[in-house]
């Protein structure tokens, strides 16, 4: 009995600290009041029940003061709007009207301003087929070394751009830069964490993303959206029907795209019998059916041979001739970007790093020449390296493969060009290398340069303990 009384006393003391105890206390006390041998146990009284009932009120006052004290001490904002339930405003809403990021390039800022104008002034909006404003996507990913802890990752950060009628906007960026995520948000396949997407419908009206499955949209996703049991021809017929092509027009529409992409020999085949390149051609073909006003192409020509790629480029450019539609093309092929795109946007670590015409980007980042040397005898590469440094003292080695050396040569080091070429010819004779090219910065160089920023970001994350990643060895002279 003594032991029981001691436990009860301890529980009472605990009840001052544990908010769930009063409920338990009331139950126990009621039990003890109403059971027959309550007197025998001699452990409860009505006053105990009263204390148990009022304890929550005492708790709430105590805890409110404690919470206030902790908020003041640790600097968290005191929630004035909701002091009782203390539900924070949704975190996403902080992205709804994000500020410009501090270190954005001029062209990115200008594009952001153009997007703001296009949304604010309907006459400007008319000229665009796609307007993407402050697109944000946040994923929660498992933190390394913890089963429960999740880490937030921004796949796209405040990305804004617009695509004008008749324009192909190239979306470039290293793997994981956020291109597919951006595409998926534009189509509505992935929900937006924040931002806004407006698209021009075929009938001239502007549609919000919420109006899903629009026939005015031609989307070629990275993963092939094909049925294993339908033939190529059946795919084209089904998609034509889905895109609203009338029965009478279907044959002509299918014929046109089949001829343009040289798919005649594959019409009766099922996807599993097709090569990767032909499968991608079919995906591109179904996306082009029905003359969509908005084209979203996520690496459409991956795996195609050069002839197939050219067919895709020609078909795409022909579709935009009327200047009523526009396209976003995500690609890893610089040649494709140069051949098809009117402007290029480069994403790095989810952020729009630069946007403009290819020539603009080359001029912007092209403060140097690119020297590529094909080496005959890899054993003499060090000798050759010393010779290159003698000719161009500020040259920086970018990449080193057994038979290829790549250098970035600052412009001032290489002028006049006539002298540079004669020195290179002399080095070619002395060091016996096979061939060389000396050119202005290419789009590939611009791309590689910007990709290094993402490698650095990933490296920083590794230091943070989040990712396993090995930094590529960067060789500088």
Residues that bind ligand ATP (CB under 6 A): 139, 141, 153, 155, 173, 175-181
d(CA 334, CA 338): 6
Kindly state the smallest distance separating residue 309's Cβ from ligand ATP, in Å: 17
**3-state secondary structure at position 443:** helix
Cβ closer to ligand ATP: 302 or 394? Answer: 302
Cβ closer to ligand ATP: 181 or 207? Answer: 181
**Where do we find the tokens 């006052």?**
61
Kindly state the smallest distance separating residue 178's Cβ from ligand ATP, in Å: 4
Yes or no: say if 129 and 217 are a contact pair by the CB < 8 Å rule. Answer: no
Yes or no: say if 370 and 441 are a contact pair by the CB < 8 Å rule. Answer: yes
d(CA 383, CA 381): 5
Cβ closer to ligand ATP: 166 or 176? Answer: 176
Kindly state the smallest distance separating residue 186's Cβ from ligand ATP, in Å: 12
Cβ closer to ligand ATP: 433 or 447? Answer: 447
Kindly state the smallest distance separating residue 312's Cβ from ligand ATP, in Å: 18
Kindly state the smallest distance separating residue 192's Cβ from ligand ATP, in Å: 13
Kindly state the smallest distance separating residue 330's Cβ from ligand ATP, in Å: 7
Cβ closer to ligand ATP: 71 or 457? Answer: 457
Cβ closer to ligand ATP: 168 or 431? Answer: 168
Cβ-proximal residues to 402 (8 Å cutoff; 6+ apart), any chain: 375, 378
- Pairing type for strands 343-348 and 168-172 reads parallel
d(CA 39, CA 52): 20
DSSP assignments along 6-51, one per residue: HHHHHHHHHHTT-TTHHHHHHHHHHHHHHSTTHHHHT---HHHHHH
DSSP assignments along 108-136, one per residue: HHHHHHHHHHHHH-HHHHTTEEEEEEEEE
Kindly state the smallest distance separating residue 109's Cβ from ligand ATP, in Å: 22
Cβ closer to ligand ATP: 22 or 174? Answer: 174
Yes or no: say if 302 and 280 are a contact pair by the CB < 8 Å rule. Answer: yes
Kindly state the smallest distance separating residue 74's Cβ from ligand ATP, in Å: 31
d(CA 114, CA 124): 9
Cβ-proximal residues to 403 (8 Å cutoff; 6+ apart), any chain: 374, 375, 376, 378, 434
Token pair recorded at residue 212: 């899903």
Cβ closer to ligand ATP: 12 or 459? Answer: 459
Q: Please give the radius of gyration of the chain, using alpha carbons only, rounded to the nearest integer.
A: 33
Backbone angles phi, psi at 87, to 5 degrees: -85, 125
Kindly state the smallest distance separating residue 131's Cβ from ligand ATP, in Å: 20
Closest Cα partner for 112 from 133, 83, 130?
133
Question: Angle at the Cα of 313 (from 310 to 314), degrees rounded to 5?
Answer: 85
Kindly state the smallest distance separating residue 68's Cβ from ligand ATP, in Å: 38
d(CA 303, CA 176): 19
Cβ closer to ligand ATP: 155 or 245? Answer: 155
Cβ closer to ligand ATP: 93 or 175? Answer: 175
Closest Cα partner for 198 from 294, 299, 287?
294
d(CA 41, CA 35): 10
d(CA 45, CA 74): 43
Yes or no: say if 471 and 455 are a contact pair by the CB < 8 Å rule. Answer: yes
Kindly state the smallest distance separating residue 198's Cβ from ligand ATP, in Å: 21
Cβ closer to ligand ATP: 266 or 333? Answer: 333
């Amino acid at each position: 009995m003594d032991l029981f009384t001691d436990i009860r006393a301890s529980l009472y003391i605990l009840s001052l600290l544990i908010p769930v105890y009063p409920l338990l206390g009331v139950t126990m006390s009621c039990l003890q009041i109403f059971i027959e041998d309550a007197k025998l146990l001699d452990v409860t009284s009505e006053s105990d029940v009263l204390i148990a009932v009022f304890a929550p009120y005492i708790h709430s006052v105590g805890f409110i003061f404690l919470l206030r004290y902790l908020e003041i001490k640790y600097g968290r904002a005191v929630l004035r709007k909701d002091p009782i339930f203390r539900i924070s405003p949704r975190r996403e809403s902080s992205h709804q009207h994000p500020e410009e990021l501090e270190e954005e390039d001029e062209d990115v800022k200008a594009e952001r301003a153009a997007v703001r104008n296009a949304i604010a002034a309907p006459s400007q909006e008319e000229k665009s087929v796609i307007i993407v404003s402050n697109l944000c996507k946040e994923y929660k990913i498992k933190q390394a070394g913890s089963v429960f802890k999740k880490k937030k990752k921004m796949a796209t950060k405040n990305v804004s751009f617009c695509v004008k009628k008749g324009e192909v906007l190239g979306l470039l960026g290293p793997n994981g830069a956020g291109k597919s995520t951006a595409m998926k948000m534009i189509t509505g396949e992935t929900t937006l964490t924040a931002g806004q997407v407006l698209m021009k419908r075929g009938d001239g009206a502007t549609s919000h993303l919420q109006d899903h499955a629009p026939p005015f949209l031609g989307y070629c996703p990275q993963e092939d959206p094909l049925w294993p049991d339908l033939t190529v021809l059946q795919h084209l017929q089904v998609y034509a029907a889905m895109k609203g092509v009338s029965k009478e027009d279907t044959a002509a529409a299918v014929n046109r795209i089949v001829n343009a992409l040289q798919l005649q020999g594959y019409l009766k085949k099922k996807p599993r019998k097709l090569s990767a390149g032909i499968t991608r051609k079919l995906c591109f073909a179904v996306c082009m059916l029905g003359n969509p006003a908005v084209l979203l192409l996520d690496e459409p020509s991956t795996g195609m041979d050069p002839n197939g790629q050219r067919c895709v480029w020609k078909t795409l450019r022909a579709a935009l001739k009327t200047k009523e539609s526009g396209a976003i093309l995500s690609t890893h092929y610089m040649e494709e970007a140069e051949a098809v795109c009117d402007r290029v946007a480069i994403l790095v670590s989810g952020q729009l790093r630069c946007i403009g015409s290819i020539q603009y980007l080359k001029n912007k980042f092209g403060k140097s020449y690119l020297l590529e040397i094909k080496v005959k005898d890899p054993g003499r590469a060090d000798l050759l390296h010393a010779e290159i440094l003698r000719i161009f003292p500020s040259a920086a080695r970018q990449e080193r493969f057994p038979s290829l050396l790549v250098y970035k040569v600052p412009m001032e080091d290489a002028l006049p060009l006539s002298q540079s070429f004669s020195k290179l010819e002399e080095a070619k004779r002395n060091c016996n290398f096979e061939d060389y090219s000396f050119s202005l910065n290419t789009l590939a160089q611009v791309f590689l340069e910007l990709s290094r920023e993402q490698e650095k970001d990933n490296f920083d994350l590794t230091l943070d303990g989040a990712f396993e990643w090995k930094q590529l060895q960067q060789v500088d002279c």
